Structure 1
Amino acid sequence: MGVEERGAAIESGLERALARVGIERPSGFTRLTGGATMESWRFSAGGEDFVLRRAPSAAMMEGRAIGHDIEAAAIRAVHAVGVLAPEIVVELEEADGLGTGFVMRALPGTPDPRTILGDNSGDAEGRALGGQLARELAGIHNIDPGSLPTGLPTLDPAEGVAGLRTQYEEAGGNRPIVALALRWLIDNLPGPTEPALIHGDYRLGNVLVAGTQLTGVLDWELAHLGDPHEDLAYACLTVWRFARIDRPAAGLASLDDWFAAYESAGGRRVDRARFHWWLVYRTCWWALGCWRMGRTWREGADRTVERAIISRRTSEQELDLLLLLEGEAPEEERTKPLPASSPPPPPTGEATAGELATAISEWLATVKDRMEGHDRFQHAVARNALGIIARDYAAQVIATDEQLARALLEGERTLAEPGLLARLRRTTLDKLGVDMPKYPALAVARRKWTGED
């Protein structure tokens, strides 16, 4: 079903919802790209622009710590005290037939990270916008918990790691680098701290920026109470720096500038050891989140191409985890050369599965201009998937090792073992070269570990 057909399918239900608050009939539906778990639609009504955020089915809400009712209440609460969150105008009801969700007034600006980074590419502009993001985050963390809705969960580090371990074991328990990270998190748990409101997904892609000005904070579905270092670290994950991995703070500024802006706005004093722990935690969390997408697609809860392709981004986070944790290895292991890759012989005769994928991808390129809106986005995702198939068939990299993973998780083997770090580095480079060869950190790691460009 295309964008126009899907827009027409939800129009009647949305009209009922808007009528409850005196807003006239909606029109001009556009499916917004992005959003790994929710649908977002922009539309107009009464001369204003709005955004519908919804989960079309109950299955899409499974496993979420909060429902849309609590999320909406939290957004209303933070909006009321001046946080740049959108204004919610109405919440969906069962009779609307649209699933669960709510309608918000549209805010100015773009969430597109590449546009934001392009408009703030200079050092001064990057520091300035990074400072705005840090100051807004300090304001969020300083909100009185008593003004927030009941039902927001509290994330205790030990319980969080236990949850990650359960997810890991349910997913197969056979990825050594994730196991290594889980062991490190268990061995280095931070002490207790006074909980604050945590956005939970504070990063480029979930904020709106108009030129050089922060204009909105979106996507509060992971809001909870916990350690402010979690939000500070999550914005700095390598994956959320996009093409500017040389600027650790959201691809915009240095960590020194990030911390200074946050503290000067009334945020708590930053503990760099806690920050590093949460950096490892949220990288591991996102690795498992990506990994779980494959199961979500396989079980039929969401059969979009995007869902399936995100599962292959696990290897991005494995690379990042290894970069974060390799300092635990002895010096002689960190300087050891990597073993060589062993690619299979080139194909001959009939077309291989990888070559068929390439052929389909090349044909899809010829029909790109016929696509628009979200279909165009999915077209790009489909071509990416075909590229993975082609590279996977050619390289045949095996990144799973249940026995090694179990030993690392139990602490029976460590990075002090001769040759283990070099082996993990080689496998990680080869696997990511198959899954996401344009991931910016891949080139950085390849130069660092092999001296190659």
Structure 2
Amino acid sequence: MKVKNERVRQGAVGHVRLVEHLGRPVVEKRMTDPARHDTEVLALGALGCTELPVPELIQVDRGSILMTLMPGQRLDSLTLDARLTGLEASATLLHRLHDLQPPPGLPPGPDDESIVRRYSDAPGPPLPLRVPRTERLTFCHGDWTDANLLAIDGKITAIVDWERAHLGDPIRELSRAAWAASRKDPRSFDRLVERYGADPVKVREWLPIHAAELWLWFAEAGPPAYLEQLTAELESWPPI
């Protein structure tokens, strides 16, 4: 297997590289966490027979996955308007994912009660924290962001980075995606939610959970500048 020097834009993690396998360029993804490795393999294996645009598994070894190189540019590399068009198009695919039968063995979603407890003990800005009622559990991607979506001319050509896939609340996942997108472009929230076809009120109920989860992440992993920026945002809650 020959390593190629081109920069890989398939996913947002640093342990992804372009390699040559049997005479063609493919993507190699390395993970030190066995659970995340197994989750990505499980998710991609289950999605291989669906219409969702995901990489095809080529070879799986311990800590390493070879997959097809998908076409397109990451949405986070595009202009705001092009990014917005792509995000809106992705909402249909997110809804389609949530309608699929989850594969057996998919891990559970985040522990929201734990997030509430941890944030309540932290020195973050006050948030109206409560865990919304979950009506159903579905196949979730886990990190539906502009860094994990590839597009060409407004059409989504790939959904990548499935290591956080889980069995979770679909409205929670939509809310996380919409809030994260809105922090770059406020137009994104309504466009994503409307295209998905969800009740905006129910989507907004999850926002304090996402804010607390992200604040805790920055508090524990940094960088400090991001924590300061987010803290300033949360002090003027609600954001939308």
Q: Please report the TM-score for the alignment, with normalisation by the length of structure 2.
A: 0.85
Q: SS where residue 49 of structure 1 aligns?
A: strand
CA distance in 2, matches of 1:31, 1:77: 28
Amino acid at match of 2:2: P
Say if 1:83 and 1:136, in contact at 8 Å, map to a contact too: yes
* 2:16 matches 1:72: no
Name the structure 1 match of 2:107: 152
* 2:51 matches 1:82: yes
1:428-443 equivalences under 5 Å are none
Name the structure 1 match of 2:71: 108
For the pair shown, which has the larger CA radius of gyration, 1 or 2?
1
Give the structure, 1 or 2, with the largest relative contact order (CA under 8 Å, sep 6 or more): 2
CA distance in 1, matches of 2:188, 2:64: 34
CA distance in 2, matches of 1:43, 1:236: 34
Name the structure 1 match of 2:209: 281
Q: SS where residue 102 of structure 1 aligns?
A: strand
Name the structure 2 match of 1:49: 25
Change (3 A) 1:116 1:217: farther
Name the structure 2 match of 1:142: 99
CA distance in 1, matches of 2:56, 2:107: 20
Structure holding more strand per residue: 2
Change (3 A) 1:136 1:43: same
Cα offset for 1:33?
7.2
* 2:120 matches 1:176: no
CA distance in 2, matches of 1:154, 1:176: 23
Name the structure 1 match of 2:229: 316
Change (3 A) 1:259 1:151: closer
Cα offset for 1:326?
7.8
Number of residue pairs aligned between Structure 1 and Structure 2: 240
Cα offset for 1:117?
3.2
Amino acid at match of 2:192: W
CA distance in 1, matches of 2:20, 2:182: 32
Change (3 A) 1:40 1:81: same
Cα offset for 1:131?
3.5
Amino acid at match of 1:54: R
Name the structure 2 match of 1:261: 195
Find 1:293's aligned residue among 210, 221, 239.
221
Amino acid at match of 2:52: V
Q: SS where residue 84 of structure 1 aligns?
A: coil
CA distance in 2, matches of 1:69, 1:222: 10
Name the structure 2 match of 1:162: 114
Q: SS where residue 44 of structure 1 aligns?
A: strand
CA distance in 1, matches of 2:9, 2:158: 17
Change (3 A) 1:79 1:280: farther
Q: SS where residue 59 of structure 2 aligns?
A: strand
Say if 2:92 and 2:196, in contact at 8 Å, map to a contact too: yes
Cα offset for 1:102?
1.0
Amino acid at match of 1:247: R
Cα offset for 1:109?
0.7
Cα offset for 1:112?
4.8
Find 2:159's aligned residue among 217, 220, 227.
217
Name the structure 1 match of 2:89: 132
Aligned-residue Cα RMSD (Å) equals 2.9
Cα offset for 1:41?
0.7
CA distance in 2, matches of 1:198, 1:79: 15
CA distance in 2, matches of 1:287, 1:111: 25
Q: SS where residue 20 of structure 2 aligns?
A: strand
* 2:129 matches 1:185: yes
